Each structure stands twice: as structure tokens, then as C-alpha cells.
Amino acid sequence: MSVYFYMRINSDDDWDEKKYFRQEKKLRSFAEENEYAFNTEGDERTKNVFKDNCPGTSFDRKGWQELKGHLCKGDCLFIKDISRFTTDTFNGQDMFMQLYDKGVKIVFLENPTADTEYLINLIETAKNLGVFRGSETENIMSLLIFAAIDRALNERVFFQQKVLEGMETSGKKPGREKRGYEKLTPALEAEIVRCIKGKNKKTRNDLMMQYDVSKITLSNYFKYVKTKLKLQ
């Protein structure tokens, strides 16, 4: 059995390699606790950590395709959470089943009820109780992972919406300036929206100069506005 790890972010910021930090910290700590190798570099025999910076709606990702080429029956793949694996329920279900049929197990550290092993044990328990026939195992597995992915992604959107609501209401409270959003004026937000939609000729450097904000601050504003647009 070989062990692999996968990370994904979705950012167009040149300085956003640091956004892998939380995922890598979680996965590396897990690897150390279980005495697994965690190699982000190396040749085909030693590298076992793969990553992408792209949307999670499709699996047409360079890092994922490289990883998939390594996965064999009996291997185990560790991912921080479902949203790093996919942000599309149907495509996620299809890929999960491809790996299940191949004999590859997936472990989501923060979504344990979607782990391959957990679902297999759940199905075996149901079969022993006579809930369904053994011939229906694959269909039940497909249904369970669909539900697990859909639930996890909806919970993530709900959490993001609560964060946004907190940001918006905090404008009436003392201390908002300490949160770092005092420079996000309606004019700057409109500029950011145009950038995200590819309709702004200004670069990020232009916005930094015009609105007197740092790279990190502007990056946070872009993330905030992107989340806001997704929920509209």
C-alpha cells in the first residue's frame, strides 16, 4: 500500500502559495503522527504530495492527473476536506466512484463520514441487518458519497454566508477598523468586481497605488468579494 496526499487552492494571486499553509500543516502533522512519508518534491518513486491552484469544479487539473496516474489498488489518499477534493457534487461523486472501483481509499481528515472505509463499514452493517441486498452495494455507495459531498459543500457555503453577515453587521460596531476592511470602499469593491469578471484594465498594482492598500490587504478584499459574488 502506498500513501498519497492532495491539496488544492483556487487563487489568481501570485503571492498566494502561503494559502496551502493550513492544508499542508494539517496533512503533514497527520503524516508525522502516523509515520507516513510526506514528500512534496522528488522523483516518481518518492514524491507523494500533489497540489493544484485551480477551481474544484472539474478534475482536469495538472496535479490531480499526475496523482491519479500513481494511484493503484490498495493505496490510500489523504485530503484535508471535501472542498479540497471537489466543489461539484456530480463530478466529485463520479471521481470518488472511479477510485472506489479501482480499490483506492480516500480519507477526508475533516469529513470522516465521507471516508471510503467509513462508508464501506456502514454498508456492511446495513447488509448484515438485511436493509438491502449485496448486489446493490455499488449503487448504495454512490448514493452515500453523493449525499456526503452535497452536505459538506452546503455546510461550507452556509459557513461562508455567516462570515459575510458578520463582516457586514460589524460595520456598526466599534473596532471595525481593526478588522482591516475600513479601506474597502464601494469604489474599490466595484473595481475588484470588474477585475474578477475580467472587465477591468487596471492591474492589482494599479489598485494598490490608487487606494493605498498593501498586497495582503488587497488579496483579502479579493477573497471577500469573490465569496460575496458566489453567494449572490
Q: What is the DSSP string of 7-34?
A: EEE----TTGGGGGHHHHHHHHHHHHHT
Higher-pLDDT residue of 164, 91: 91
Whether residue 12 is found in the same domain as residue 126: yes
Contact call for residues 16 and 9 (beta carbons, < 8 A): yes
Radius of gyration over alpha carbons of the chain, in Å? 21
Whether residue 184 is found in the same domain as residue 153: no
pTM of the model: 0.69
Within a domain: 169: no
Task: Identify the band that residue 227 occupies on the pLDDT scale cut at 50, 70 and 90.
Answer: confident
- Which residue segment(s) compose the domain that 180 sits in? 174-230
Within a domain: 41: yes
Whether residue 145 is found in the same domain as residue 49: yes
Whether residue 99 is found in the same domain as residue 184: no
- According to DSSP, the β-strands at 3-9 and 105-108 are unpaired
Distance CA(196)–CA(228), nearest Å, equals 12
Whether residue 115 is found in the same domain as residue 27: yes
Residue at which a domain ends, from 124, 157, 190: 157
Residue at which a domain ends, from 128, 157, 186: 157
Looking at residue 18, its pLDDT comes to: 59
Higher-pLDDT residue of 176, 30: 30
Residue ranges with strand state E in 76-227: 76-79, 105-108
Greatest mean pLDDT among 97-106, 126-135, 144-153 lies in 97-106
Name 199's Cβ contacts closer than 8 Å, sequence gap at least 6: none
Within a domain: 71: yes
Output the domain CATH number for residue 100.
Answer: 3.40.50.1390
Contact call for residues 110 and 139 (beta carbons, < 8 A): no
Task: Identify the band that residue 58 occupies on the pLDDT scale cut at 50, 70 and 90.
Answer: very high
Whether residue 9 is found in the same domain as residue 95: yes
Within a domain: 35: yes
Within a domain: 87: yes
- Total domain count, the chain: 2
Whether residue 152 is found in the same domain as residue 185: no
Whether residue 9 is found in the same domain as residue 74: yes
Whether residue 109 is found in the same domain as residue 194: no
Helix (H, G, I), strand (E, B) or coil at 179: helix
Whether residue 138 is found in the same domain as residue 204: no
Within a domain: 199: yes
